[in-house]
Structures are given as structure tokens and as C-alpha cells.
Amino acid sequence: MDFVRYAEASAGLLNADLGSLDALRAHLAGRPRLQARATERDARDLRRLQTDLRPVFAASGEGRVDEVVTGLNALLARHPVAPVISAHDGTDLHLHVAHRDAGVAEQLTGEALLGLATLVCDLGATRLGVCGAERCEEVYVDTSPNSSRRYCSERCSSRANVAAYRARRRAAARAAS
């Protein structure tokens, strides 16, 4: 299991448009086995997870550690993860977060929650957040060495920096005149 990848995938899941089965299948484009098995119920259950998980990211970004822990624990209690040992070729033993027959929503939920719980325990409860760019509501996972990430992407970071630079130039021009 790559817990960091699962944690980052949870941010991708929160940022995804899951308004329909087609949208869920588009989100699962890199995972054809899950894509083929996705149902309307999976899309509905994952939309509910998006709603339930977003406050954990917001609390983390604001440094509210107790709310992060409480929120993740509540979600783990509501969605118990049942890892299984798998050996696709008989020798490569590794863990999966759910049995092969688990539903798509169950598997993605297990990956997200176990990834986030492990990341919070290993790196700290303030490594999640909501993008700091104006008019952006995307979430992110901060795996930077110094816990300095504040934007969901380089694009948002660049926009925010350019906007701040332009605002400083306007203020300096007004002060000079």
C-alpha cells in the first residue's frame, strides 16, 4: 500500500466532479477494473463521502488538530476498512484496503481514509488543506518537507503570486502619487 498515494488520491476524489455515473467513470479513467464496475450507487456514496470529508481538510488547513482526528475517526468508524493480503502472481505479497469483490465506493473510501489516517499519524494533522487562492475550493495534501503548501496546484500558486505582486505595485504607485 502506498499511503501517500492514497492520501493524495483522496484529495483528487474530493476535487472530482462526481455528479453522475459518467463523471465517476471519467474520474476512474486510470483504473479500468473499477471504472467498469462503477454504479450510480457508488457515485452517490462517493458524493456523500466528499461532503463528509471536506471539513477534515478545512480543519487541517486551519490547524484544528482535534477536529481532524475526530473527523477521521468518525469516518473510519462509519466506513470500517478491512485490508486483505493479496498475491497477484503468488509471490508479490501486499495489502489491499478491501476485498476484490468490494464495491467501488467501498474501495475508494477505504483507500482515502486509510491513506489520510496514516498520513496524519506520520506527518501530522495539519498536512491537508483547502486552496488559498481566491475563488478556488480545491483541496490538497501537503507532503512538502517543510509543510509549506498553501495552494492546490502550481497554477493557483502562480495566479495568487501574480495578483499579490500587482496589488503591491498598485499600492506603491498610489503611495508615490
Q: Where are the domains of the chain?
A: 3-176
Residue with cell 472530482: 16
Residue count of the chain? 177
Q: Tens digit of pLDDT for each residue in 106-146?
A: 999 999 999 999 999 999 999 999 998 888 999 999 998 88
Please enumerate in sequence order all residues whose Cβ is within 8 A of that of 90, keeping only pairs 6 or more positions apart, or say none. none
- Mean pLDDT across 86-92: 76
Q: Mean pLDDT, the chain, as a whole number?
A: 90
CATH of 3-176, one of 1.10.8.870, 1.10.3300.10, 2.60.40.1930, 1.10.357.10: 1.10.3300.10
pLDDT value of residue 45: 97
Report the predicted TM-score, pTM, of the whole model to 2 decimal places.
Answer: 0.86
Q: Tens digit of pLDDT for each residue in 9-42?
A: 999 999 999 999 999 999 999 999 999 999 999 9
Residue 177, pLDDT > 70, answer yes
